[in-house]
Structure 1
Amino acid sequence: MNHQDAQDTMQRAGLYNLREVDGTGQGRMLVLDRNWVQTGQDPAPGTEVTPDTVITLTAVKYTDR
């Protein structure tokens, strides 16, 4: 799933406290979200959380793969 779709899914579920991380460790900013693919999430998908929980979305550029 691309990063934009992941964010949209989270927001539809009422989760807005989203943190973005470059999965390569290079510290790049995720500027064009559709150019990035989700590689991880913390807490894990399916975990019940409260609306104020920080969700960390880890992604890499499609060109990094």
Structure 2
Amino acid sequence: MTKSYVVRYVGGPLDGRVDTLPDLPDEPRSTVTHVHLHEGPKIVHHYDLCYAVEYGCEYRLRADADAE
């Protein structure tokens, strides 16, 4: 029996999204970029890979450096 690999997203427009992959990737991407296109300007969000005790890993919305 193989166990699927679950990836969760925390924060931003992908908050709560869960992707299920058939196996653990050899090298999970350290950053995922999500580009939101709509009638307004293009909005880009970056999610960084983090370890989560409950799920193994999750992608968390990167804090905006310009907000500080």
Q: Same fold, TM exceeding 0.5?
A: no
Q: Which has the higher contact order (CA 8 A, sep 6+)?
A: 1
Q: Which has the higher strand share?
A: 2
TM score, norm. by length of structure 1: 0.27
Superposition TM-score, scaled by structure 2 size:
0.26
Larger radius of gyration: 2
